[in-house]
Every structure is written in C-alpha cells, then in structure tokens.
Structure 1
C-alpha cells in the first residue's frame, strides 16, 4: 500500500498526537536561504512582519527607499518607511504588483491615480505613505517618479523576493484598468460609479498577473528567487454583496491555489505556509486577537519560528525587539498599517428597537 511508507506528518491523527501538530514538518523549503542573502519584501499588511524579522536576522533586508537619517522611528513608520523594502505601501493583489512593476520599468504616471483630498494631492497608488498629502500635483509626481526609480533599482540588488498575497477584491478605473489599494473616496478622491468598477479576481486572473509579474522581475534579475505566502488576515469588508466569511474563504482559496500552483512549477519559487499555520483547525482562534481578524504576536512568532527553523544556516529565530530604533517611540509589538482596515468605518450602524 502506498500510504504505509509515508512519514507521520502525512497523517492527521499522528499530527494531532503532537502538541504543536508537528509544525516543524509543515515547511520543507526548496529555496535554501543562507546568511547574507539580500531579501526584498512586498505584499499585504501581514507582510510587514516579514521585513521586521528579516531585518533582525542574518539575512540582509534590501532597503531601497530608507527613511531620512534624522527622522524619528515612529514618524518614519507613519510615512511608510521600513514597512517593506520600498515605500509602496501595502500591495494587496497580484494585479497591483504587476502594475507597479510595469510602471517602474516604464516610469509611468497615471492621471487616474492623482486624487484630491481637500487642499492636498494624494497618490492613489500608495495613499497612506504621505498621510498629510502633497502640497502640489508637481510634488506628487516628483515623489512618484523617484519611487518608481527606486523600485526598479531594488531588483538589481535582490537575491530573494518575498511577496504576500492578500486580496482578490479591488477597485479599478474603468477606462485604464488601473487598480487601487483602496476604494476611491476612502483616503482621497471620490467614488464615481461611472468611472470606478469593483473587481473580484478569479484563479485565472490572479495566476496571469502573478506569473507576468515574476517574469518581469526575472527579466531584470534572471537569478532571482521568489517566496510566496498568503495573508491569514480576513477581509475587513467585501463589496461583492456576499457574507464576509464566504467572501474571505473565496479570496483566500483562490490566492492559496495560485501560490501553490506557481510554486509547484518552478524550482526557484517556494511557498511558505503562514496561512495554514494561523488559520489551521488544530489551533482554533488561538493566533487571532479578540476581533478574530488581526494576528497576535504569538501567531507571528510561530510562523517565523517555522520559517527560520527550516533554514538552520540562518542561526535560529531572530529577535525583532533587538533592532527597534527607539523603544520610547517605536514599541513592539506594533499594529500593521493597513488601508483596508479603514473600511470598517463605513459599516452601517445597527438600530435597536
């Protein structure tokens, strides 16, 4: 019988007999990491944790867009510095990633991505990185061009790119197809149903966007290795009209299937099972805060223990608290900076009788 030769982690009962469900066996990396490798990160809110741990490890975090030297750590974080390897903010979808790389290659600016909010201008493709907005449209465009130049240069010095898939839902400009990290009107601009359209991508669309993005990266850097993860953070809200649990399950299922498919077909692309660790039935809601959405510090540490434990050459699990620049203003743990979470404010208030 083919099952008789399988190891204990292949059986639910044998895993259930272990206090930690044999998590040390859940990740068997194809891509070997060693000290000094240059790692760049991008993705959804949960991916911000990866940069924190990589910075504290024997790996080298690519900092393509570092904060000004005299900027306080808490201010730098508020302005999008240090969350990822560049100041692109949260990249929730594969379409967003593909779009960013295309813009970086061609130094493209989009009229549809220039929003107003009162007297200031907002970069619609990274609306959270300048919380106070830009004073002029020209200033916005200058910052955008510099950002794209840095994103393109980032891949010339990157050995491993880590990307966390977060959502399938997004809002797009009907004419150009440009997608935004948040709905128009939330952080700037205004929602126009004649101009803006809701998109909920399926497997084929996400697969195409992700493979095209990776192809473009490798045209710039043929030796690039890629690690894919799926965010375990549920949707804050869904514009699909479905129940939020239904919508979350659909979105994460598509992303997980795409990540697995892409990784299975390429020896230099790996999948890291952070989603399974946090959401798995053996742990119930243990790794979520009381809102059953945001991940606890224990949950993040468990994922990172599995990840670094599978790469013994890295010297063990890092201690992020050792690299915080200013404990008075930048304490750990920190909440992720997340545009999607702002959608909670738009929930209708229930009335009581």
Structure 2
C-alpha cells in the first residue's frame, strides 16, 4: 500500500497515500497533541480567530441568545469589558438574554428593534411562562442597546421550534400550558436552509443599521433538556447541533465580511472536542474550568490588551489536568480542586465556628477553662 509522510506536533507521521491529501493537511489531534504548547492555535482555534484583537474595555458589547450566552456576558463583565446588555434594562435581550435559543427568536429582536416589526400573536414568554408583550418601552430600550453596540455576540442553542400554524410565527420557547392550542400550535425542526436565511437577515439588518459593528457567532454546547421528537434525546440533540454547526459554517463561508467584521468563535467545538469529561453529573452543564478556558481563548484573540499566550496555555493545562482527574476519580475530583468550591467550604467552616463560639455552652466552657487555668485546679 502506498504511504505518504506528514508532520504532526513536530514529528513525522506516515499514513495511507492512495488519495491526494493536499499540500498542507490539518491532522486530527491525538492525546499527545493536546499536551503541546501550541494546542490552542494548532487545533482548537485555527482558522477562526481575528488577525488582531479589537475589543477594548470601552467597546459596547451586546451578547445574547441561548443559555450559554450568559457565560460570555458574565466573564467579560467581570473582566471589566463593557457588556451593555448585562445589567438593568427594559430590553428583553437583557431580561431574557440567555433564553432566546434559536435563530427565529434572535431575528425577531432585530426586526422589532430596528424596523418595528412585531408578531401578530403572543409568542414571547419567559422562564416561568410569563408573557413578554410588544411593549414600546422595551422596544426602544432594545433599539438603544443595538444602536450603541460595536460588537454583537450571538449564541445559537437549538433547532427545535414551536410555531403558530395560522401565522407561521415562531415562539421563543414552547407554548405555555395555559395557552396551548393543539389545533394551531405545532412543532417542527428548523432545517439548515431556514437557519441560514435567518442568519443572513440578521447580518443584513446589522450591516444596515450598524454598518461598522462586528458580529461574533457562537454555538452553545449545552444539549437539549428534552425533545418533542419521537426519538431519543441524544439523537435529537445531535441533529439539532449538527444543523446549527453546518448552517453557521455555510453562511459564514458565503458571507461578505467574514474574517473582518463577521467571525465564528468555536466555543462548541472546543468544549466538545478539547475535553473528555466536560460535563457535570447532569450531563447538560459544562464544568467551570472548561468554561473559563473557553472564555480565556476569546480574551486572548479578541481583546486588547488580551491574555498572554503563556496564561492561555496554563489555563488549558489546568483544565486538562482536572479533566483527566475527573476521568480517573469521578466528579468528586473537581470539588477537591476547584478554588471556588474550596473557598465556599472554608467559608462554611468559618461560619460554623463563629456560630459555635456564640453559643452559651461554648462561652460557659471557655470561661470555665480560663477559671481553671487561673486558679490551677
């Protein structure tokens, strides 16, 4: 069998040479690859990052979409960046900024804010099924945020949608139980072409109303809680994420401005394939050390002054060590190593000690010990 030689991680490898593999193929990483100092640039972020950072502490940022969007907002806010959608506002992208989980809900906010286009029926409901009306104050607050933003970070979560069959309009989430009407409220999978059309319209609206703003698209790794399809949720989630990842890739490749004003940040890719034990015990939430590394990649490449390469690699190394430890010792390994967990445990111990010292029995025993030491009996 014919073979060819290539280079991976500085070492020569040999593989099947029956087919043409291009002049510079990008090889899939091995476990050893994930130990190399250039793992982030070579395997996790290659081809997607801006040439230079452009996000300063003064850059107005609007970040919303799926539940994973809150991780972006929280991290950047704590680091001192200006996430204007993070805080108090009448805008729904602030109140429900991590609950607009598909491209239809996200597009509705841009249409509503900038063109005053609103659905014909009530489609917007919150975490507890409370209704979010088409209030003019909320619209103007949303418009004010969008009009200020120099960077939009949009996170896509899923492809399953509920819609009103009469109007064809899509709900933010599933219809609330108290208003569900099986004769008109239907479920479907939003396919790739539809997802690309929504992304194209979002991009067109941003270029029309904020022509100098930049956009970063991300995909949440958080899986479905449940599916409305008659298949296992694991399979349904795989399809849902595959639609989003494929649609984003096709849209990005064809879009004007890619790599200069339009970017894809591979949060989904890094979480799914840069780690082996990324999920907490519920298998839906990502461990904090994985999230922290994910956002440090963003800060390294997108932000000014950014994060040094040495600190970025140290973050990945730490996260990988915890990842491997979970594989060997289970979820308890994180509780033993996580600084936040340790700090919380220490605070609880101090609280218990302080509470005990205030108890009458403790005070009485303390006074008795002092009395005995003084009078030596």
TM-score above 0.5: yes
Partner of 1:274: 267
Contact 1:51 1:61 in 2 (8 A): yes
What is the match of residue 102 of structure 1?
A: 111
1:30 aligned residue (46, 50, 63) = 50
**How many Å apart are 1:49 and its aligned residue?**
0.6
**Residue 50 of structure 1: aligned partner:** 72
Aligned positions of 1:166-205 closer than 5 A:
166-186=157-177, 189-205=178-194
**What is the match of residue 126 of structure 2?**
127
**Residue number in structure 2 paired with 1:231:** 220
Deviation at 1:154, TM superposition (A): 1.6
Q: Which runs of 4+ in 1 moved over 3 A?
A: 1-9, 13-18, 84-89, 106-111, 131-134
Give the C-alpha shift of residue 145 in structure 1: 1.9
Which residue in 2 is equivalent to 1:16? 32
Asked if structure 2 preserves the Cα contact closer than 8 Å seen for 1:94 and 1:210, the reply is: yes
In structure 2, do the counterparts of structure 1 residues 42 and 96 end up closer, same or farther at CA, with 3 Å as the change threshold? same
**C-alpha offsets along residues 49-104 of structure 1, whole Å, 9 cap, x if unaligned?**
11111212353212387259xxxxxxxxxxx99xx656555111111111222222
1:219 aligns with 2:216: no
In 1, Cα distance between the equivalents of 2:135 and 2:125? 9
Residues 12/172 of structure 1: CA separation in 2 closer, same or farther (3 Å cut): same
Shift of 1:2: 11
Partner of 1:283: 275
CA distance in 2 between partners of 1:200 and 1:292 (Å): 23
Contact 1:96 1:179 in 2 (8 A): yes
More contact order relative to length (CA 8 Å, sep ≥ 6): 1
C-alpha change, 1:314 and 1:125, in structure 2 (3 Å) is farther
Partners of 1:37 and 1:60 within 8 A in 2: yes
For residues 116-144 of structure 1, give each alpha carbon's deviation from its aligned partner in whole angstroms, at most 9, with x where no partner exists. Answer: xxxxxxxx41423xx5957xxxxx65x72
Decide which moves more: 20-29 or 3-12.
3-12
| Partner residue of 2:241 out of 252, 260, 277 | 252
Once residues 2 and 305 of structure 1 are traced to their aligned partners in structure 2, the CA distance between those partners, rounded to angstroms, is: 37
* Displacement of 1:258: 1.6
Q: Distance in 2 between matches of 1:3 and 1:198?
A: 51
Over the aligned positions, Cα root-mean-square deviation in angstroms equals: 3.2
Q: Deviations over 1:136-167 (max 9, x none)?
A: xxxx65x7221111212222111110001101
Change (3 A) 1:133 1:205: closer
Structure 1 residues 3 and 62, CA, compared in 2 at 3 Å: closer, same or farther? Answer: farther
Structure 1 gaps, min length 5 = 69-79, 114-123, 135-139, 319-331, 334-353
Q: Give the deviation of 1:190 after TM superposition.
A: 2.4
Aligned residues: 285
Distance 1:210 1:38 in 2: 22
CA distance in 1, matches of 2:196, 2:167: 21
Distance change >3 Å, CA 209–CA 53, structure 1 → 2: same
Structure 1 residues 310 and 192: alpha-carbon distance in aligned structure 2, compared to 1, 3 A threshold? same
Distance 1:12 1:213 in 2: 33
**Rg (Cα) greater in structure:** 2
- Partner of 1:162, secondary structure, is strand
State the Cα deviation string for residues 21-66 of structure 1 (Å, max 9, x = none). Answer: 8134422412732312221101101111111112123532123872
Give the structure 2 partner of residue 137 of structure 1: none
**In structure 2, C-alpha distance between the alignment counterparts of 1:299 and 1:149, rounded to whole Å:** 37
Select between 3-12 and 260-269 the one with higher mean Cα deviation.
3-12
Match of 2:84 in 1: 62
By how many angstroms is 1:241 displaced? 1.3
Moved more, 265-274 or 38-47: 265-274
TM-score normalised by L of structure 1: 0.71
Question: Do the aligned residues in 2 keep the contact of 1:65 with 1:150 (CA within 8 Å)?
Answer: no
Could you state the TM-score of these two structures normalised by the residue count of structure 2?
A: 0.67
